[in-house]
Amino acid sequence: MYLIIVGAGKIGSNLIDMAVNDGNDVVVIERDEARAQAVSRRHDCLVLNTDATTNGALRDADVDRADAVISTTNIDAVNIMVMLLAQEHGVPSLVSVVHDPEHLPVFEKIGVNLMETPQRLIADHLYHSVRYPDVHDFIELEDGTELIELTVSENADMAGRSLNAAKEGDVLPDGCLVVALSRDGDVRAPQGNTVIQADDQVTVFTDDATLRGAVTAFTGDYP
């Protein structure tokens, strides 16, 4: 992919690392000279030390080739302007961080594909780490639903049961769905006759009402 990343602060730097290491063609636009130089030394990618809120900056970045423009600055007004300019060039994917939740409607009107509030993400991660210590990872979806990743414990009710048997025995709550299973490095889509084993890593679709039951079923306990 051809990606234009605006901002090389803490969020932007991590994103640049991932994008470059994954083999993407990356152009970075960073106004701060020291940060721009740091990225140039670290990565073999084009770095433009300029103001991204000007049309000239995006043109220099060859925005018409871009699959996505990602704005990561710590100023929402700058991110909004970058998104508007990228939209004028018909960039297929517009992605931005949003620091103030009150600005979310503005980004929605622009048509930004992905909006995240870093402070909220950090708070969610900290809360889940304390409240649900057995949940390795989670992704919040819409309408109070989420994907969670768990490792099956030996003393869990799900250990040694097929998904069909678990449903029939009310071990899994209604609305809870196992969407992926990883065993010995092999990731598969589980079927009704799939038997869950201890040490399996499962990805489960759940909601607020079924979260407690899901965690209990796969780990044997709940905080």
In the chain, where are the structural domains located?
2-116, 122-219
CATH topology of domain 122-219: Alpha-Beta Plaits (3.30.70)
- Range from 45-54, 102-111, 143-152, 204-213 that averages highest in pLDDT: 45-54
pLDDT band at 166 (very low <50, low <70, confident <90, very high): confident
Token pair in block for residue 189:
């889509």
Class of 2-116 per CATH?
A: alpha beta
- Share in percent of the chain as helix, strand, coil (round to 5): 35, 25, 35
Lowest mean pLDDT: which of 14-18, 60-64, 93-97, 210-214?
210-214
Mean pLDDT on 96-102: 85
Give the model confidence (pLDDT) of 187-198 as tens digits. Answer: 888 888 999 999
pTM for the whole thing? Answer: 0.64
Cα angle vertex 64, ends 61, 70, to 5°?
60
Do 150 and 180 meet the contact criterion of CB atoms below 8 Å apart? no
pLDDT (tens digit per residue) in 48-62: 999 999 879 999 999
- Strand ranges inside the chain, DSSP E: 2-6, 25-29, 46-48, 68-71, 93-97, 114-116, 135-140, 145-151, 177-183, 186-188, 201-207
Q: What is the pLDDT of residue 114?
A: 59
Decide: helix, strand or coil at residue 32.
coil
